[in-house]
Structure 1
Amino acid sequence: MNDVASSPFDDIRRLITTIPGPDEAAVEAVRLRDRQLTKPAGSLGRLEWLNEWLAAWQGKPKPTVDRPLVCVFAGSHGVTSRGVSAFPSEVNRQMLENFSAGGAAINQICASLGLGFKVFDLAIDMPTNDIVADAAMDEKSCVATMAFGMEAVAGGTDLLAVGELGIGNTTIAAAIYAALFGGSAAHWVGRGTGVDDEGLKRKIAAVEGALDRHRDHLKDPLEVLRRLGGREVAAIAGAILAARLQRIPVVLDGYVTTAAAALLHAIHPSTIDHCIAGHVSAEGAHQDVLERLGKIPLLALGMRLGEGTGAALAAGIVKTAATVHRDMATFGQAGVAERLS
């Protein structure tokens, strides 16, 4: 008889053991076709690699980006009461309304690139607990939010870009990185929405206080998530897992979104092999994080908006790569002489 009580996190850990690996046969099919296309081998650089990546995780010898989707998860944080953001928490609701009206930057990017767009309100009017004083979430609500993120991944999607919205969530992300990777809080804390020097000091103090509060419980990445994270981070982690199970490649957005991937990576590094970094954010130590995760960003535009904007722009490049590979003529079709051997 087993007297050990099961944890809600046990289901997540078991799920991770079932995720599929890459389809090497599909990758080889892409490489074979690439060698026949009317261009010098390797001349399209990372565009060629993107098609191999798509094939590996879609399990398709002819990868597609016909139904790309950008999912943005929105949450709010009790730690904002400590003055860690240049904007008040009411901005969360106002920006959700702006999304609905089609007025945000992400709306314009998705429209211009032909990307689907969905935003998910994760009880945005009910902030998580202040991480300096308490755990952000209990296990049950954390797992339920991860499950919500899993359910948000639409069937038929062939490329998923994930992003977030949440005043205060760069503080949350910095606390997660400090817990996972160590080092000083100051290394991980950036200016987020543009806090002044005093605001930056408050952010650093908040992260230091949270780490001290939870220091005896930060060896388990899922405990890090529930104690220091937010609902948007939990939902993104769930979406990343669901995408892997459904063989959907994932494009990550910036500093906060990458925190969800970093937590999964800490459980097992291969869990995020189907993810690429859409861009490197101007926020704080994002480049450091990406190097630790082994991710080379597609774009470096000095962006720090969040909202999935960097991931969406990168998804446009992935979409272009798939179109070029699919529609470009072969040497035989075009009547072009191949390279002399």
Structure 2
Amino acid sequence: MEFNIKPLSDSDLQEKLRHKIDTKTKPLGALGTLEALAFQIGNIQNTLEPAISNPTIIVFAGDHGIAKEGMVNPYPQEVTTQMVYNFIQGGAAINIFSNTHGIDLKIVDAGVNHSFENKLPLIDAKIDFGTKNYRIEPAMTEDQCLSAIEKGAKLVATAHANGVNTIGFGEMGIGNTSSAALLMTYFTNTPIEDCVGAGTGLNDKGIGNKIKILTEVLNKHCPKNTIDALATYGGFETAMIVGGILKAAELEMVILIDGFIVTSALLVAKKIAPSVTDYCIFAHTSNEKGHTKMLAHLNASPLLHLNMRLGEGTGAAIAVPLLRASVDFLNHMASFKSAGVSTKNE
């Protein structure tokens, strides 16, 4: 459970990156957020010539014990399994957007309440057939939680060994917005009513009931530390994303943070290793209630706001072209000197 994550603090490299960006044939700051992206990616990769190599999104799927009650989610738990088959068959939004932008997509069974055939193009990392119901007991044991973190880290390490330097995470799990809301209120001290949204489509009455149930859950448990909180409220998919984020930062990879669920995993990861956010690029603002406050807590400035709240890593996939554009201008755009263009009069 130890990750060696270095803060980005090379002032000499940062000065050279700023000079390279500022001397391109454009007014200072004219490329806006793309300049900030190029600067951050160059810092992460410790180079003046960064690249987006083999961008990959790993989608972790897991079931939640609370979802069996059907009181916090409008869709039945079986939808998690059905959507995993949809991913495998290439029919989900994340499949389409990954194909559109040349992103490698991996699907992981982190803890779905179903036995999948071995021959399917699915990574088997199953911890258990769903978590326990945290209305009654913690979602998982500490050993299960640590195992999930380790498995997520190993999957990222394998991707890195295969030439991936840019990675995003997605998730699928009926009930996981409830889990994310609980993690959010624990790690940010935000009242639970400000963390809970519609999820997969609850109406106002359903949201009110969801808040009531999650308030009961918060009153029942008193997690004593970060791992205990993740084990109490989290999902296997969330815990694996925590491990994946931490390992990716340790390996100095560019990390694309998706929406509400993935950001809740980042809250956990940041508590473990505060420097992890140096390596994170926030893809978009989810329309799921609570995400804006999560982002504010992290002092994050997302690239996009498209009113999306699908999950699956779709926001991360949509953002990949912006990362490519930022490194391409840095690497290939002429400077004032190379183009023979006069600089601004002082």
With normalisation by structure 1, the TM-score equals 0.91
Q: Which moved more, 1:230-239 or 1:80-89?
A: 80-89
Q: Which residue of 2 aligns with 1:141?
A: 144
Q: Which residue of 1 aligns with 2:219?
A: 212
30, 34, 55: which one pairs with 1:68? Answer: 55
Corresponding letter in the other structure for 1:184? P
Q: CA deviation at 1:23?
A: 5.3
Q: CA deviation at 1:268?
A: 4.5
Q: What aligned pairs does 1:226-305 form with structure 2 within 5 A after superposition? A: 226-305=231-310
282, 306, 311: which one pairs with 2:311? Answer: 306
32, 43, 54: which one pairs with 1:45? Answer: 32
In 1: Cα distance, 2:338 partner to 2:90 partner: 43
Q: Secondary structure at the match of 2:26?
A: coil
Residue 82 (1) aligns with residue 85 (2): no
Residue 100 (1) aligns with residue 107 (2): no
**Alpha carbons 1:23, 1:55 under 8 Å: kept:** no
**Alpha carbons 1:221, 1:264 under 8 Å: kept:** no
Corresponding letter in the other structure for 2:314? T
Q: Secondary structure at the match of 1:122?
A: strand
**Alpha carbons 2:5, 2:273 under 8 Å: kept:** no
Equivalent residue pairs, number: 325
Q: Which runs of 5+ in 1 are unaligned?
A: 1-11
Corresponding letter in the other structure for 1:105? A
In 2: Cα distance, 1:320 partner to 1:327 partner: 10
**Alpha carbons 1:27, 1:61 under 8 Å: kept:** no
307, 326, 329: which one pairs with 2:334? Answer: 329
Q: Which residue of 1 aligns with 2:132?
A: 129
195, 198, 205: which one pairs with 2:205? Answer: 198
Q: Which residue of 1 aligns with 2:321?
A: 316
**Alpha carbons 2:6, 2:275 under 8 Å: kept:** no
- Deviation sequence 1:86-124 (CA, Å, 0-9, x none): 111111111111111111111111111122211211121
Q: CA deviation at 1:42?
A: 0.8
Q: CA deviation at 1:71?
A: 1.4
164, 174, 178: which one pairs with 1:167? Answer: 174
Corresponding letter in the other structure for 1:86? P
In 2: Cα distance, 1:86 partner to 1:323 partner: 44
In 2: Cα distance, 1:168 partner to 1:323 partner: 40
Q: Secondary structure at the match of 2:111?
A: coil
Q: Which residue of 1 aligns with 2:227?
A: 222
Corresponding letter in the other structure for 1:199? G
In 2: Cα distance, 1:73 partner to 1:194 partner: 21
Corresponding letter in the other structure for 1:210? V
Runs of 4+ in 1 over 3 A off after TM superposition: none
Corresponding letter in the other structure for 1:78? G
In 2: Cα distance, 1:303 partner to 1:140 partner: 35
88, 102, 108: which one pairs with 1:120? Answer: 108
Q: CA deviation at 1:181?
A: 2.4
Q: Which residue of 1 aligns with 2:120?
A: none
Q: CA deviation at 1:270?
A: 2.3
- Deviation sequence 1:294-321 (CA, Å, 0-9, x none): 1111111111000001111122211211
Q: Which residue of 1 aligns with 2:5?
A: 19
Q: Per the alignment, do residues 327 and 183 of structure 1 end up closer, same or farther by CA in structure 2, a change over 3 Å counting?
A: closer
Q: Secondary structure at the match of 1:152?
A: helix
Q: Secondary structure at the match of 2:96?
A: helix
In 1: Cα distance, 2:15 partner to 2:52 partner: 19
Residue 151 (1) aligns with residue 157 (2): no
Q: CA deviation at 1:184?
A: 3.0
In 1: Cα distance, 2:188 partner to 2:7 partner: 26
**Alpha carbons 2:169, 2:241 under 8 Å: kept:** yes
Corresponding letter in the other structure for 1:181? T
Corresponding letter in the other structure for 2:6? P
RMSD: 1.5
With normalisation by structure 2, the TM-score equals 0.90
Corresponding letter in the other structure for 1:213? K
In 1: Cα distance, 2:14 partner to 2:169 partner: 24
Corresponding letter in the other structure for 1:206? I
In 1: Cα distance, 2:204 partner to 2:188 partner: 25
Percent identity between matched residues is 36
Q: Secondary structure at the match of 1:247?
A: coil
Q: Secondary structure at the match of 1:176?
A: helix
Residue 57 (1) aligns with residue 57 (2): no
Q: CA deviation at 1:189?
A: 0.7
In 2: Cα distance, 1:184 partner to 1:43 partner: 40
In 2: Cα distance, 1:46 partner to 1:238 partner: 28
Q: CA deviation at 1:330?
A: 1.9
Q: Secondary structure at the match of 1:163?
A: strand
**Alpha carbons 2:111, 2:237 under 8 Å: kept:** no
Residue 28 (1) aligns with residue 18 (2): no
Q: Which runs of 5+ in 2 are unaligned?
A: 114-128
**Alpha carbons 2:111, 2:131 under 8 Å: kept:** no
